[in-house]
């Protein structure tokens, strides 16, 4: 399991305030001390003037960590570079990587990822972005490269292209949870397994819908409430199964939902913005759901009338 930092700097969706930084530092410290090594971020994380704030905070937290960081494996920073329309050359992509390294104040990233594919709307830009991944790997700016929001067909194409350049594709990040386990997601997992690519599961809690903390009369603030209002009413069976299994195992519903992702062979990256989040997410480690429990959860999930809306940038 790793931790996601989308909320760090995002005022619109997650209500970030700079006054939260001291607790976010404590979150990072607690995670690192408890064996969490992977932290996912992006050069686009942070709203308005706070664009890039997530990377800046991670860099600060690494520098100010009071424990010992002995090797690059102790903290693996996986950042994503946005496929902005003005990033039209591999050189511009390399510069984006350099800017991230500067914000993080690191010499090398753990994983450099292409945040999304442009195949659906700007196919000619795609090759330049792929060449950018090749360059940042060859220049040693990253230890590994990955992609995000790629479907199975496009994943096969980029894997083949990178392989022809001698660059291994290490990871593929996609929305994956009990609310996002459709045919395309499962096909993508099969492709990843066949190619030796690790699937990183973002939004493993369905933006919070699988936590059991919300219902029709208690919705989150901000834009999430619109989505919750559409999907939550049809999740009674799934939430009931999560609650029953959680009670039987002495776990929380969130821990069960995250553990399901791990049982499916993915690396979930739940978001954290409080000590309570870190402590609860850590409780998803060290145990496994039974095959019968996995089957029960998946049957209930498939019966839900509405699922999570897929990322608009995800390709086929």
Q: Tell me if 310 is assigned to some domain.
A: no
Residue 69: the pLDDT is 83
What whole-number distance in Å separates Cα of residue 91 and Cα of residue 116? 18
CATH code assigned at 177: 3.20.20.100
Question: 135 lies in a domain?
Answer: yes
Residue 309 belongs to some domain of the structure: no
Q: What is the pLDDT of residues 201-217, one digit of tens each?
A: 999 999 999 999 998 88
Question: What's the predicted TM-score (pTM) here?
Answer: 0.94
Let me know if 45 is a catalytic residue. Answer: yes
Look at residue 64 and tell me if it is in a domain: yes
Share of the chain above pLDDT 90, in %: 82
- Determine, yes or no, domain membership for 165: yes
315 located within any domain:
no
pLDDT of residue 50: 85
Q: Which of 45, 150, 202, 214 is catalytic?
A: 45
Cα distance between residue 101 and residue 70, in whole Å: 19
Q: What is the pLDDT of residue 68?
A: 81
Range of the domain at 75: 3-303
Residue 312 lies in a domain: no
Number of domains in the chain: 1
List, for the chain, all residue ranges whose pLDDT scores fall below the cut of 70. none
Neighbour-count burial of 71, counting CB atoms closer than 10 A to its CB (0-12 exposed, 13-18 middle, 19+ buried): exposed
126: its two tokens: 């795609």
Helices (H), 115-235: 123-138, 152-164, 183-195, 224-231
Quick check: is 163 in a domain?
yes
> Can you give the pLDDT at residue 146?
98
């Amino acid at each position: 399991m790793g931790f996601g930092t989308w909320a760090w700097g995002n005022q619109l969706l997650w209500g970030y305030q700079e006054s939260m930084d001291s607790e976010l530092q404590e979150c990072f410290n607690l995670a690192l001390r408890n064996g969490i090594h992977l932290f996912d971020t992006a050069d686009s994380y942070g709203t308005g003037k706070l664009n890039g704030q997530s990377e800046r905070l991670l860099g600060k937290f690494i520098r100010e960590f009071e424990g010992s960081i002995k090797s690059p494996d102790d903290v693996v920073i996986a950042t994503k570079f946005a496929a902005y329309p003005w990033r039209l050359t591999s050189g511009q992509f390399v510069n984006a990587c350099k800017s991230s390294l500067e914000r993080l104040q690191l010499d090398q990233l753990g994983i450099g990822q292409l945040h999304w594919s442009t195949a659906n709307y700007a196919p000619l830009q795609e090759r330049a972005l792929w060449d950018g991944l090749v360059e940042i790997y060859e220049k040693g700016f990253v230890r590994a490269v990955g992609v995000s929001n790629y479907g199975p067909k496009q994943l096969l194409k980029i894997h083949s292209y990178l392989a022809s350049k001698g660059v291994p594709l290490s990871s593929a990040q996609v929305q994956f949870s009990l609310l996002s386990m459709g045919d395309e997601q499962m096909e993508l997992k099969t492709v990843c397994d066949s190619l030796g690519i690790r699937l990183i599961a973002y939004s493993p809690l369905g933006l919070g819908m699988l936590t059991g903390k919300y219902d029709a009369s208690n919705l989150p603030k901000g834009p999430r409430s619109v989505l919750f209002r559409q999907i939550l009413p049809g999740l009674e069976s799934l939430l009931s199964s999560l609650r029953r299994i959680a009670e039987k195992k002495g776990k929380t519903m969130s821990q069960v939902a995250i553990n399901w992702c791990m049982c499916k062979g993915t690396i979930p990256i739940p978001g954290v913005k409080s000590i309570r989040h870190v402590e609860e997410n850590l409780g998803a480690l060290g145990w496994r759901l039974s095959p019968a429990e996995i089957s029960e959860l998946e049957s209930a999930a498939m019966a839900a009338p509405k699922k999570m809306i897929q990322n608009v940038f995800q390709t086929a």
